[in-house]
Amino acid sequence: MTQEKLSIYFSEKFGQRVPRQTIADILADECRLLGDLNIDSNAKRITKGRFHLIEECLILWLADVRSHGVNVNDDLLKEQAKLFGARLGFGLEFKYSNYKQVVSCELIKLTEIVAKYSPSDVYNFDETALFYRLQPNRTLASQAVNGIKSSKERLSVGVCSNADGSDKCRLVVIGKFVKPRCFGNFDPNNHVNYFANQKAWMTSGIFTQWLEKFNNKMKNSKRQVLLLIDNAASHKILQKFSNVSIHFLPPSNTSVLQPMDAGIIRSFKINYKNLLVKSFIKSIELENKVILPNVKDAILMMKLAWYNVSSETISNCFSHCNFMSKKKSFQLNFNEKDPKWIELKSNIDKFNISQALQDPVELLHVEDYVASDDNQSTGEKLEVEDIIELVKPGVTVSDNEQVLTELDVNDKEPVKVTKEEVLISFKNLKIFFDDSCMTEDKDLECLNYISDRIDFFIDKNKKQSNIFDYFKKN
């Protein structure tokens, strides 16, 4: 029941007007009271409960196990609360309350916090795993192809946007190697924020680095923004930021609380996997075999996939969450009627036909293909002692990160393209469009733009070469 309906109900019940704001104030007071488990009746103010460390442990544990695909019920929460209480030295002196009530109150608090910001200043960040080489077939998805590693190789991807979709932040991509062989002179940070560690996992160190960049961006824009994140261990913040207020989402059904999980990441994955299957089809047409993308290819496809997530989709997903005001009715459309879904299904069918794959048992449904990596972890699973150490005051977290400088031996060195090859390729491309009966004016405009950009790069490289030659001579 909404606060407005509660206001009407109590106004009719008591025969006098009860303003909505009064309802909101009462509910806010209830949250503060529920959050305290040991209130002195003679106290003039509410202090932090004696067992707040247990609550912090539960929040951290719940976020962690859910990130690993574990379903949690109230009984399991109760047992875990007892375990944390015993480890923290409280024994059996505390009573377990219904944790769902605490989460419900947190939602009310969150609604009030978000209401203080405009939609353009409310951001959400979340991570997801991505099988960046996965083929849309059960057999091929689990086997090596032409001696190459299994196509279930994973990257972790951090996605962030504001509520109206006007600012889609650059993706965070975490791989296993600082400089894979395929990079060559390619700088991934021109396209995404790239990091690496042995597990390709998000860590508190990586997240803090990203937050510092994000804060500087807001500082330069003279903006004060709200960032909503879940309570994962890698999101442990040990400092404050001048232009970014951080609020941790209470652990609950993620699609209700986390806009990214309400459909934004799903839209991104549909776009990416559509591009991925297209690349498979092209490689079959050109080389008569499936060529799996390397990390460089994946980064460029991810960038395009994120670009193609519409601001309308993002805005709708934020509105879908209970803490955002709903200005209009809508339906999240990720099913057989969605054009992107239809295109992906069509491309999967083309791929399977090209591979002579017709066994229904082996074919992956679009839904299974898109969601194949949803339950993969993007961070290390925490043990009980790890969680207790995290919530104790004054304790910092070690990322256990190792700087990896070795090359990924599974990738090939990129082919260097000469200026002459670029010009010949563009000439052939222009001839192709000139001779096609389906060429439109916008195609020619794009070709002219590309031609200008090629001239610009060639001219810039020529000037740099002249400068280097000058210093060499002197």
Q: How many residues are present in the chain?
A: 474
| Whole-angstrom distance, CA of residue 232 vs CA of residue 203 | 10
Is residue 335 within 8 A of residue 289, CB to CB? The reply is no
Is residue 225 within 8 A of residue 243, CB to CB? The reply is yes
Contacts (Cβ under 8 Å, ≥6 apart) of 198 = 176, 402, 404
Is residue 307 within 8 A of residue 162, CB to CB? The reply is no
Domain ranges in the chain are: 419-473
Tokens describing residue 401: 């990160």
Residue 13 neighbours by CB distance under 10 Å: 9
| Whole-angstrom distance, CA of residue 206 vs CA of residue 194 | 10
Amino acid letter for position 132: Y
Question: Strand pairing partners for 124?
Answer: 161, 228
Q: What is the pLDDT of residue 466?
A: 54
Q: What is the pLDDT of residue 6?
A: 62
Phi, psi of 316 (to 5 degrees): -65, -40
pTM of the full predicted structure?
A: 0.70
Give the position of tokens 């879904």: 341
Give the β-pairing of 172-175 and 148-150. unpaired
| Whole-angstrom distance, CA of residue 293 vs CA of residue 303 | 14
- What burial letters (b/e) apply to 179-210, b meaning 16+ CB within 10 Å? bbbbbeeeebeebbbbbbbebbbbbbbbbbeb
The torsion region of residue 469 among left (phi > 0), alpha (psi -120 to 50) and beta comes to: alpha
Positive or negative, the Cα torsion across 316, 247, 376, 150? positive
Give the position of tokens 């009462």: 26
pLDDT in tens, the chain (474 residues): 666 666 666 556 555 565 665 655 555 544 444 444 333 334 333 344 556 677 767 766 766 666 565 666 667 777 787 787 777 776 555 555 555 555 566 677 788 899 999 999 999 999 999 999 998 876 544 444 444 344 678 999 999 999 999 999 999 999 999 988 899 889 999 999 999 988 888 888 899 999 999 999 999 999 999 999 987 778 878 788 999 999 988 665 445 678 898 889 999 999 999 999 999 999 998 888 889 999 999 999 999 999 999 999 999 988 888 777 655 545 555 566 788 889 999 999 888 888 775 555 566 788 888 888 887 777 666 666 666 665 555 433 333 334 444 444 446 666 677 878 888 888 888 888 878 888 888 888 888 888 888 888 877 776 665 555 545 555
Phi, psi of 121 (to 5 degrees): -110, 10
Quick one: how far is CA 331 from the chain centroid? 22
Write the CA distances from 279 to 1, 35, 306, integer angstroms: 49, 52, 17
Convert the chain into a string of H (helix), E (strand) and C (coil): CCHHHHHHHHHHHHCCCCCHHHHHHHHHHHHHHHHCCCCCCCCCCCCCCCCHHHHHHHHHHHHHHHHCCCCCCHHHHHHHHHHHHHHCCCCCCCCCCCHHHHHHHHHHHHHHHHCCCCHHHEEEEEEEEEECCCCCEHHHHHCEECCEEECCCEEEEEEEEECCCCCECCCEEEECCCCCHHHCCCCHHHCCEEEECCCCCCCHHHHHHHHHHHHHHHHHCCCCEEEEECCCHHHCCCCCCCCEEEEECCCCCHHHHCHHHHCHHHHHHHHHHHHHHHHHHHHHHHHCCCCCCCHHHHHHHHHHHHHCCCHHHHHHHHHHCCCCCCCCCCCCCCCCCCHHHHHHHHHHHHHHHHCCCCCCCCECCHHHHHCCCCCCCCCCCCCHHHHHHHHCCCCCCCCCCCCCCCCCCCCCCCCCCCHHHHHHHHHHHHHHHHHCCCCCHHHHHHHHHHHHHHHHHHHHHHHHHHHHHHHHHC
Contacts (Cβ under 8 Å, ≥6 apart) of 4 = 20
